Amino acid sequence: MKKLFLLISLFAAFASCALFYPQFFVEDAIDKRGDTNWSVNPPVNPFWELVGPRGFSMGTVSYVKLDFDTVSGVPYVAFRDTSNMGAVSVMRYDGTNWVYVGAPGFSGGDSRYLDFFIDGSTPYVAFQDMTNGGMLSVMRYTAGNWEYLTNAGISVRAARDISLFVSGGNVYAAFADQDELYGLSVYQFNGTVWSDLTTEAVTAEAVSGVSLWVDGGVPYAAFQDSEYFNSATVMRYLGPPASNGWLSMGFRGFSDGPVSGPVLAFNSGTPYVAFQDLANGSRATVMKFTGLTWTPLGLEGFTQDVAAFIDFAFDNNTPYIVFEDWDMALRATLKKYQPSGVVTTNSGTGAITTNDGWVSVGGAGFSAGAATFLSLDFYNNIPYVAFVDGSTAGSNKLTVMRLK
């Protein structure tokens, strides 16, 4: 019955979406470079610009992930590449065009649930390797080639909902593990061998939407917890299983109800998690751990309508969230949290207001069409967003945009 209720609720939310969306109007303060001379013609969002061509991939894509080489400042994107049998491809921006990093489709076959991480200048990718029984594979780009860390298919059985993180010379991969009835597993690679940090079952039932973060050398994992009615749970690693293994941060299932796609991020040692909040109209909610409990950052379900394909990140201690915005005809919207007392100048009217809560950055619905598989990152305080571009010109290929 719960599943039926959720399906009916989602159908009702979809049916309520506006079939038309308003023309862009100027809002949201001065841009990050201080330039307010924006033109509103042609009718596209003047705060955002394309990074390279629109729809630059050879074919349609999914599982899009964006990250930066923090040494050179070059953006990279990893994605499931249908023009190469659904294998993983990685591209980087050369200042004019996007070019392949190594061979296109280097994973050799269908690859899903991929995640991507650049450690300094070294790119890593983790994925469900369908040519190796759907098991977890992790690869690294070095000396002009992609190589497996030890070998392909390192998990015992199939892996899904994979999340990758590199910290302190160690590579971590968290995933829903078929060998544990799709419970949580976390592996660590120390440069020589892989170790299972969850050799004792951490969760008794399945997890999904796994999101991994490593802070101070300690792995943390957020996930949709089916053991607790599909609510959000965050757990931290305490050490080897003999010393209790994993412990929940606050209560397990701390959200009001079911969630989808939780994204974990830390700021100054404090964990935050963003998710699609099914208990609040499938809108976006962000929560912060206070040391004992999880509290909402702003309102719960703060978006105008359904928020899907959420990604979440910090820049200069400010939290940002990007999502497919059902209030804006499925286009992409970026919001940031402004606590009470933050002053914003409207560049269209000159009005000065004091905000408290989540506000759109560069205008809501900035993409030209529907945007899915959104991925957010920052460089020099400028937000970049990669996504599957559902506009007519984008043709469900890969597009990257940044705030001017």
- Mean pLDDT to the nearest integer, 378-392: 97
Record the tokens describing residue 23, joined without a space: 């023309």
The pLDDT confidence band at residue 307, using thresholds 50, 70 and 90, is: very high
> How far is CA 161 from each of CA 131, 222, 342, 367, rounded to the nearest angstrom?
17, 11, 37, 26
Q: Residues of 68-82 as b/e, b for ≥16 C-beta within 10 angstroms?
A: bbeeeebbbbbbbbb
pLDDT, tens digit, 9 for 90 and up, residues 58-76: 999 999 999 999 999 999 9
Which CATH architecture is the domain 2-403 placed in? 6 Propeller (2.120)
What percent of the chain shows pLDDT beyond 70? 84
pLDDT at 45: 73
Alpha-carbon span 127 to 137, nearest angstrom: 6
Could you report the per-residue pLDDT of 218-263, keeping only the tens digit for each? 999 999 999 999 999 999 999 875 556 899 999 999 999 999 999 9
Strand, coil or helix: 278: helix
Nearest to 63 by CA among 204, 176, 161: 161
Average pLDDT of the segment spanning 109-120: 98
Domain ranges of the chain: 2-403
Mean pLDDT, residues 365-388 = 98
Provide the pLDDT confidence category of residue 87 given band limits of 50, 70 and 90: very high
Specify the pLDDT at position 348: 60
400 with 75: CB under 8 angstroms? yes
The alpha carbon dihedral of 92, 98, 99, 102 has a sign of: positive
Tokens for 343?
């002053």
Please, what is the average pLDDT of the chain? 88
Q: How confident is the model at residue 38 (pLDDT cuts 50, 70, 90)?
A: very low
Which helix H or strand E contains 370, and what residues bound it?
A: none
For residue range 144-187, list pLDDT tens digits in order.
Answer: 999 999 999 999 999 999 999 999 999 999 999 999 999 999 99
- The single-letter code of the amino acid at 50 is L
Nearest to 111 by CA among 92, 91, 126: 126
Dihedral sign, Cα of residue 32, residue 36, residue 39, residue 45:
positive
